[in-house]
């Protein structure tokens, strides 16, 4: 289908208008641009009436912010890639990981461009730099106003770590945490906070998938149940928490790069380009496998990562065989080989 390039009237970023649509939203600043002059007056009047009806309410800004959800349907995502420029542990694959995930969501899974919020150090908009504040605000945007039928995605590529548990809710005594670009100044984002922001608010009929490509990430969403699976594909669901941190009726799943005590890796073993081992294996499974269940997905990812580990000493920077095993955790137990992966 032919497209026509357009520029945002606010930030001047290039947008794409698909023929037949009468508006487009800038993915950077969220400005709505109308391409049919005949409806501008009518829409402006209706938006004015809507704004006036909320003018005396404290949550005016938040309610207007829900417009993208209504306009672009049921799918939205936050994709975060932290490179740590000028740091001795810089990650060269993070931006490439994010772009690869964006292509999967748009081209394969039907996520609109305007419903995907990207945070990397390459963004010109400072609100899209992956600082602690910006990441947390993006996560609040992701779940705000969620309704039955919504499919949400949180993807993270960057450093992760473990810190001492301060509130006694961890069986192993450690909280898992993400490291934003300003973690030395602002601090890390611990699993308790991630759970409170994007898991607890999920209402009935809403599904959240998190794909977390970082070290020590097995239970980074603090979900109640963790899937323990062996090489033959036999599994059991283990209770993970000492306290109940469920959803508000929705379903949350976390696909993570490795167990809480393991390291993850970026590797060039797959294609020659450096990419996260989990990211590549997840994308490949979603693009190539038919009738994909969660059991099949988990087994596929583990097989791909293991294959990359076999070239240790040549091009894959894994510390040792089996040093990275993709994990699955969830807010509920379910039959792994019966439930299809649906995003």
* Rounded mean pLDDT, 65-69: 40
**Boundary of a domain, candidates 29, 44, 64:** 64
Q: Which of 80, 159, 240, 330 is catalytic?
A: 159
Q: What is the pLDDT of residues 260-280, one digit of tens each?
A: 888 888 877 777 788 888 999
Please count the structural domains in the chain: 2
- How does residue 59 score in pLDDT terms, banded at 50, 70 and 90? very low
Annotated catalytic, 227? no
At residue 32, the pLDDT reads: 55
Same domain flag for 60 and 169? no
Same domain flag for 177 and 318? yes
The residue among 322 and 62 whose pLDDT is bigger is 322
Q: What is the pLDDT of residues 236-262, one digit of tens each?
A: 999 876 667 889 999 999 999 998 888
Annotated catalytic, 8? no
Tell me, yes or no, if the pTM score tops 0.85: no
CATH of the domain at 246: 3.40.50.12660
Q: What is the pLDDT of residues 166-214, one digit of tens each?
A: 877 777 778 899 999 999 999 999 999 999 999 999 999 999 999 999 9
Q: Which of 146, 215, 258, 330 is catalytic?
A: 215
Structure tokens at 169: 């809710």
**Average model confidence (pLDDT) for the chain?**
81
Contact present, 212 and 220 (Cβ < 8 Å): yes
The residue segments making up the domain with residue 155 are 75-330
* Rounded mean pLDDT, 59-75: 47
pLDDT of 66 strictly over 70: no
Same domain flag for 31 and 11? yes
Same domain flag for 53 and 152? no
CB proximity list for 261: less than 8 A, separation 6 or greater: 216
- Would you state the torsion angle of the CA atoms of residues 120, 121, 126, 128, taken in this order, to the nearest 10 degrees? 0
Residue 163 lies in a domain: yes
**Boundary of a domain, candidates 26, 41, 64:** 64
CB proximity list for 165: less than 8 A, separation 6 or greater: 173, 174, 175
At residue 1, the pLDDT reads: 46
* Rounded mean pLDDT, 58-82: 61
**Boundary of a domain, candidates 64, 84, 106:** 64
């Amino acid at each position: 289908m032919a497209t026509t390039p357009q520029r945002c009237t606010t930030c001047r970023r290039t947008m794409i208008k698909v023929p037949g649509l009468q508006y487009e939203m800038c993915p950077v600043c969220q400005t709505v641009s109308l391409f049919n002059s005949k409806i501008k007056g009518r829409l402006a009047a209706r938006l004015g009436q809507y704004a006036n009806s909320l003018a005396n309410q404290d949550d005016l800004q938040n309610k207007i912010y829900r417009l993208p959800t209504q306009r672009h349907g049921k799918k939205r995502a936050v994709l975060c890639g932290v490179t740590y420029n000028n740091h001795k542990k810089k990650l060269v694959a993070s931006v490439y990981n994010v772009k690869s995930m964006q292509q999967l969501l748009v081209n394969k899974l039907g996520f609109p461009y305007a419903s995907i919020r990207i945070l990397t150090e390459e963004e010109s908009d400072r609100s899209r730099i992956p600082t602690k504040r910006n990441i947390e605000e993006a996560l609040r945007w992701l779940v705000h106003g969620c309704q039955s039928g919504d499919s949400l995605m949180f993807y993270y590529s960057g450093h992760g770590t473990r810190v001492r548990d301060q509130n006694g809710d961890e069986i192993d005594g450690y909280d898992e945490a993400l490291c934003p670009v300003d973690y030395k100044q602002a601090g890390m984002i611990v699993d308790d906070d991630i759970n409170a922001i994007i898991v607890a608010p999920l209402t009935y009929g809403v599904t959240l998938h998190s794909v977390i490509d970082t070290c020590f990430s097995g239970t980074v969403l603090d979900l109640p149940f963790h899937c323990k699976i062996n090489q033959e594909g036999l599994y059991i669901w283990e209770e993970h928490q000492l306290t109940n941190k469920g959803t508000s009726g929705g379903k949350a799943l976390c696909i993570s790069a490795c167990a809480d005590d393991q390291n993850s890796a970026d590797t060039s073993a797959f294609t020659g380009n450096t990419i996260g081992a989990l990211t590549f294996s997840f994308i490949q499974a979603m693009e190539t496998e038919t009738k994909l269940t969660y059991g099949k997905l988990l087994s596929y990812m583990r097989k791909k990562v293991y294959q990359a580990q076999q070239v240790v000493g040549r091009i894959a920077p894994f510390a040792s065989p089996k040093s990275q095993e993709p994990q699955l955790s969830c807010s509920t137990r379910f039959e792994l080989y019966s439930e299809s992966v649906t995003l």
